[in-house]
Amino acid sequence: MAATLALVSTDTNPTRLPGILDAGEEAVRAWLAAQGEPPMRLRQIRHGLLVRGVESFEQMSDLPRSLRVKLAEAFNPLASRIIRHQHAADDTHKLLLELHDGKQVECVLIQEDGRRTACISTQVGCGMGCVFCASGLDGVERSLPAGEILEQLVRLRNLPEARSQRSEVRSQKSEVSRLSHIVVMGMGEPLANLDSLLEALEVATSPDGLGIGARHITISTVGLPAKIRRLAEAGKQYHLAVSLHAPNDALRRQIVPTTDKVGLQAILEAADAFHAATGRQVTYEYVLLAGINDEVRHARDLARLLRGRKAHVNVIPFNDVEGLPYHRPTTEALTAFCDALRQGGLSVKVRKRKGSEIDAACGQLRRKVLRASIEA
C-alpha cells in the first residue's frame, strides 16, 4: 500500500476557543459551578473525551442538551487540528497537528504485534541541537502544556483508520481501540518540560483516563542530569531512555553541541540514580551516523563506558533527513558495531525502521509543510 498524504481538519468547532483538556480541571469545575451544574459533570466530560473517544460535545449524550450548547460556546473539546495525516504500508500513522496559536507538532502511531504505541512531542521544535535531528533545526519555540501533550494521545487513539480490523466485533461499550504503549520521543526534550509531561502522563495512566500502565511508558532524554534525578524522585515506574550517540565527551560535543557543559559521567551517574530509585533498567540510545560514530572502536569504547551497569543499548541507524549531510551506515558497519557491543557484554537491539516512506525522522513533516507555506 502506498503512503497517503492527506490535508484534513477534524474540528467540529473550528473557532479558536480554549481546549477543555488544556483549561485544567479546577477551571472547568469552577465554570460548571457558575452554570449551576453539579461536579459530576466534569467526570462525564472527561470520560467522553478520554474513554469513549468522542470529539464533540454534541456526542456527549449523557449531558443535558443545554449544557452541551454552553460547552460548545465556551470550549473546544479538542483544541488541536489535524492538518496532515500520513499512513504508511506498515500501518504506521503520522499526524501533523496545528495548535491553538498556529504552531505545529508531530505525533506517530506505531502498530505491530498487537501493540499500539503512541510517539508524542513535548515541545514545538527542540533546543538540544542534535546535529542529525530535523526537530531542532530551527530551535525550540515553546513547550507544550499538559493538555496539548494529552491531546496527541487522544488524536492518535481516535484514528478510525488505525482501529483494529482483526479483532472480533466490539460491544457498544468499547467504542475505540486503546493505546498500549507511549514513547515520549517526538519533538522536543521531554525533561525540559517535565512538569507538564508528568501532569499529562498522570491522566494517561489513570483508570479514568487512557488506562495505560506506567511500565508501558518510555521517556527519552538527551541527558539532563538534574531532571533525570527529579524524574526518579517522582516515584513512577516509567522507563528511561538516554540518548548517548557517542562513547566519549569529545565526539558527543560534535553530535550534541548544546550539552558541551554536561559530561557523560554526570549523565551516567544520574541514570544510575534513576535505576537505584526505580529498579528500572535504563536504555541507552545510539544513533549511528555513517563515518562519524559507527566504527568498531566506538562500539568497544561504548561497551567499556557502560560496563557493570544494568543497561540495554538501542542502536538506531540514521534516517536520512533532507538538507543534512549525514547518512545511514552500511549494513556491514551496523552488523560489526552491534557484534562488538555484544562481545563487550551488552544487551543490544537494532530499532526497526517504521514508517520510512512517510517522513519517518521526527520533525521532517513539519519542516516540509512550513517550507511549502513559506514558498507559496
Residues serving a catalytic function are 106, 362
Q: Exposed, middle or buried by CB within 10 Å (0-12, 13-18, 19+), for 165?
A: exposed
Rg from Cα positions in the chain: 21
Q: Exposed, middle or buried by CB within 10 Å (0-12, 13-18, 19+), for 45?
A: buried
Alpha carbons 117 and 55: distance in angstroms, whole number:
21
Alpha carbons 77 and 45: distance in angstroms, whole number:
9
Q: Are strands 282-288 and 123-125 parallel, antiparallel or unpaired?
A: unpaired
Helix, strand, or coil (residue 284): strand
Quickly count: other Cβ atoms within 10 Å of residue 258's Cβ.
15
With b for 16 or more beta-carbon neighbours within 10 A and e for fewer, the 6-32 pattern comes to: eeeebbebeeebbbbbbbeeeebeebb
* Interacting residues of 132 by C-beta distance below 8 A, sequence separation 6+: 255, 287, 289, 318, 321, 324, 326
Alpha carbons 273 and 230: distance in angstroms, whole number:
10
